[in-house]
A and B are shown apart, each in its own frame.
Chain A
Amino acid sequence: MEDFEFLRNVTIGQYFRGDSVVHRMDPRAKITVLIILAIVNSLTQSVSGNALMLALCIAFVFLSGISIRFMLSGIRPALPIILLFAMMQLFFYGDAYPPYGVVPETYWQWGMMSVTNGSIQLVVVTLMRFLQIYLLVSLLTGTSTTTQLAYAIESMLEPFQRFRIPAQEISLVGTIALRFVPIFAEQMEIIMKAQASRGADFGSGGVFHFVRRTRQMATLIVPLFVDAFRRAEDLITAMDARCYTGGRGRTRMVRFRMVARDYAVLGAIVLFGCLMVVFRNDFPI
């Protein structure tokens, strides 16, 4: 039967109260670490290099005290599509990528499809890359409040303000978007329950009954949109009532300060990143 507990599946974007080293780190430092590791991630092709990166990400998660099992459970809804992509890479990318570090070998071939050690490597590396980014992003949103994130984005975009980049507005948009994810998940749950109470049956018809499933979705999407517009209007009124006129010249109640530990972590990550990039071709396999 249907399970209406949506928040169980939305682990990304969810904040987990805590007082770990990761929680206390300056949000700007966290974002910078994320950016550096994302760049390194996209430049590392080898299995062993990615394994090293993945180990680092898992170590971060352990430091944060958030259960890694719970964090990974958020992938479950996306598993079918991930598997589909993995299959396509495995069978159709056989000749597209020469394997890293070993002599190309073809194990199986049939028409357009082939499995080579290059495509196997590609699948493994892609999955590891995905996991790294997923864990890092979950960790960022899981250990920083929206206020911290907004502050970080705003203060990191500040230097670009002279090029007319509206730093404050961008961070506001980001904050609102993040803030509304759990609200909409909750609203969706309520609407789904209300429709189920009057006879709707979600999840029936199987994966291939597109039309029926789309019709079922209409009973959710329409009320959800109506609600979203209503909330947007409420938000506008609330901002107007507080005399919000845009970001220029606004001051903050809480200001963050980078401490020695933040600089130390940043330095270490930059060093690690540089080494990874410089020696990216020296990894075995």
Chain B
Amino acid sequence: MSDVGQPVIQVNDLHHVYLRGTPLEVKALNGVTLEVRPGEAVGIIGRSGAGKSTLVQHFNGLIRCRERGRVIVTGHDMADPSVNVRLIRQRVGLVFQHPEQQLFERLVGDDIAFGPKKLGLPPAERRERVRWAMEMVGLDFERFKDRFTFSLSGGERRKVAIAGVLALQPQVLVMDEATTGIDPSGRKEILDRIVGLRKAYGVTLVIVSSNMEEVASLVDRLYVLEDGRTVLSGTPREVFAHPDRLMGYGLGVPAVSAVANDLLKHGVPIPRTPLTVTEAVEDLWRILSSSGT
């Protein structure tokens, strides 16, 4: 949570148009401005079609900025054609929605080793990377490394895919709705592990999500995207204090925050917008005990 030093990712008034110059052109980004500082966890929310995926694909050079605006990743201006994109992609790991669809090797270990191999690491170090990445996502190295990729369950396959990105040891991990479509316990496990990764290694996190509860508890700061623009930003507490605006953007607030906002309207002096049930319980307990005396 150190906000010292240069931002790792800095986006300034970014515009992007898909299929420019064809009858099918679509405006995806209309002026996004945001920054991600080293070590922090940033959330990006917005309804589908708001431009979230387009935005995060700029972070590792999958989409290059050709229109207006600037993207600076770890000090490199991404519009500069001489930027070493492979280096950027190693520093900024991007996990897509349904990442299990990218697996192609027969064995789990080989699949995770794909990235390190492409980095040109010697076999021994590759093996270490794979072991580390598998541990990070909670797959036992000895038990899983020689399993067939396609014999795994959906949740396990997703862990393998995430491990495949972690094996590059990125400084920034971008999760583009990477936990949608798996069961709540699997979801929680993956997120807990990602948080652990941040704590242990100071990895910067960018989490794109449509699950408000998930973002609320995970991130330090939040950006709301609408129509390819950043329309709201701040700490989750600040952002979720505007339920009406969020509704207008097709989003909601975490259920506890909504209840607290309602209580506030009815005159209960809630001191802050709670983000988790624990926080709400603490606050209510304090109010109840003080009004009791």
Contacts and interface: CB of A to CB of B under 8 A. Distances in A.
Nearest to B23: A16
Give the bracket for the number of chain A residues in contact with chain B.
Answer: 20 to 34
Contact of B165 (A70, A191, A197): A197
Interface string B89-120: 11001111001011110000000001111110
Contacts of B23: 16, 66-67, 70
Interface string A1-26: 10011011000001010000000000
B22 A223 contact: no
A190 interface: yes
B148 interface: no
Contacts of B5: none
B104 A222 contact: yes
Contact of A223 (B101, B118, B168): B101
Nearest to B104: A222
A195 interface: yes
Interface stretch (B57-65, B204-212, B216-224, B267-275): B57-65
Nearest to B174: A197
* CB-based closest 8 A-B pairs: A199-B118, A222-B104, A194-B102, A198-B115, A197-B94, A199-B115, A193-B62, A219-B104
Interface residues of B, number: 37
Q: Determine chain A's interface SS by DSSP, over half rule.
A: helix
Contacts of B57: 193
B67 to A, nearest CB: 14
B132 to A, nearest CB: 15
B278 to A, nearest CB: 35
A223 B102 contact: yes
A73 B23 CA distance: 12
B286 interface: no
B64 A8 contact: no
Contacts of B96: 190, 193-194, 197
Given A198-B114, A199-B89, A199-B90, A5 B104 contact: no
A184 B24 CA distance: 17
A225 to B, nearest CB: 10
Which residue among B104, B118, B168 has the maximum number of chain A CB atoms within 10 Å of its CB? B104
6 contacts: A1-B85, A191-B101, A193-B62, A194-B102, A196-B89, A201-B118
Interface of B: 18-19, 21-24, 57, 60-64, 81, 85-86, 89-90, 93-96, 99, 101-104, 114-119, 150, 164-165, 167-168
B221 to A, nearest CB: 24
B230 to A, nearest CB: 23
Interface string A193-211: 1111111110000000000
A260 interface: no
Contacts of B81: 1
B97 to A, nearest CB: 9
Contact of B102 (A5, A8, A195): A195
Which residue among B102, B103, B167 has the maximum number of chain A CB atoms within 10 Å of its CB? B102
Interface of A: 1, 4-5, 7-8, 14, 16, 66-67, 70, 73, 187, 190-191, 193-201, 218-223, 226-227
A198 B113 CA distance: 10
Nearest to B21: A70
B19 A198 contact: no
Nearest to B117: A199
B18 A5 contact: yes
Contacts of B24: 7, 14, 16
Contacts of B85: 1
Contacts of A14: 24
Contact of A70 (B22, B63, B86, B114): B22
A190 B57 CA distance: 11
B165 A198 contact: yes
Given A190-B96, A199-B89, A223 B165 contact: no
A198 B21 CA distance: 30
A1 B150 CA distance: 32
Contacts of B93: 197-198
Given A1-B64, A199-B89, A223-B104, 6 more contacts: A7-B19, A14-B24, A198-B89, A198-B102, A199-B114, A226-B101
Which residue among B89, B90, B150 has the maximum number of chain A CB atoms within 10 Å of its CB? B89
